[in-house]
Amino acid sequence: MSGSKPNLYGWNRDELRELIERHAAPSFHAGQIYRWLYARRRFDVTGWTNLALPLRSKIAAETRIDPGRLADRAQADDGTVKFQVRLAGGGDVECVRMLQTGRTTLCISSQVGCALDCDFCLTGKMGFVRNLFPGEIVGQVALMLEDSGPDTDRFNIVFMGMGEPLHNYDAVMAAVRLLVDPEGFGLSRRRITISTAGLVPAIEQLAREALRPRLAVSLNATTDEVRSRLMPINRKYDIARLIEACSSFARTTGDGFTFEYVLLEGINDSPQDLQRLAVLLRGLPAKLNLIPFNAVPGQLDYRAPSRERVTAFRDGLLDRQVRTSIRWSRGANARAACGQLALPR
């Protein structure tokens, strides 16, 4: 029966205020509940000690608080942990906690599956199941923080897990507002990055937001022929259209952005690709992350270039004044690396 009750987790202040007003209680209680949910991450109403007991009892009787639950975890040799989260609304997603010197990064999902069918991404092979609700998105953050213990007070969030974040625009932005609110999770917007395969209208919409996370765009090819084969979204928004949207984003917001480029041996790593990439990025306030392909034997028919070739590709771009770094794989032996997240349907 509890599953039929409305789930408070993911509600914003206005929604909580409406709840409080229905019980003829002072509206300031909405702010108190908000802080219990997101800043303190206390999900048992009985522990909300600054609310009167009768109000707590009514809330507990009429609603539930369900950020999801950790159904499984797998730890890689490098300390990366992949979590399987059972969602409050049904179904599962995977999310990842990456540990590096002085920094924790949480990689979260925005959809069960993905509709965009990028050929080198295992999530795309799942197909699209459903969008996540805001509470299911921030719930992944809460659950990973709870798992890591009380010492995690500085962390970054990347929407680079399962799904296309800008395909679930409203819920993702509602989650971002919970994450950056000083009385919510209290993150700086600059600690949050949304990665998109290139939904141009949504990039343009994001540029008009008063409160924006960082933007990362998966480019992955230097010709429309190759990109359309790798990423079907390119047939609708080609490279020129995507570059213009990103350039407009930077002009409108004053923010730089990142291009991501998954290196696939024999597909997009030639000297000609290097030269075309340098031309495409010339004059843009962008940096480039090179991502050697993370293999999934028997499921994805691609390989990464050798380490030497990856390094040489980076050095060639640096020589052409393109700000470039390599994002070496983390968590691959736990199937937690970029492009490896997927669950059976």
Active site residues: 94, 338
Pairwise CA distance, residues 14 & 246, whole Å:
33
Q: Helix and strand tally (H, E) in the chain?
A: 11, 12
CA distance 126 to 115: 9
d(CA 13, CA 26): 13
In one-letter notation, the amino acid at residue 59 is: I
Handedness of CA 222, 228, 230, 232 (dihedral sign): positive
CB neighbours of residue 154 within 10 Å: 10
d(CA 303, CA 294): 8
Q: How many residues does the chain have?
A: 345
| Torsion (CA) 232, 233, 237, 239 in degrees, nearest 10 | -70
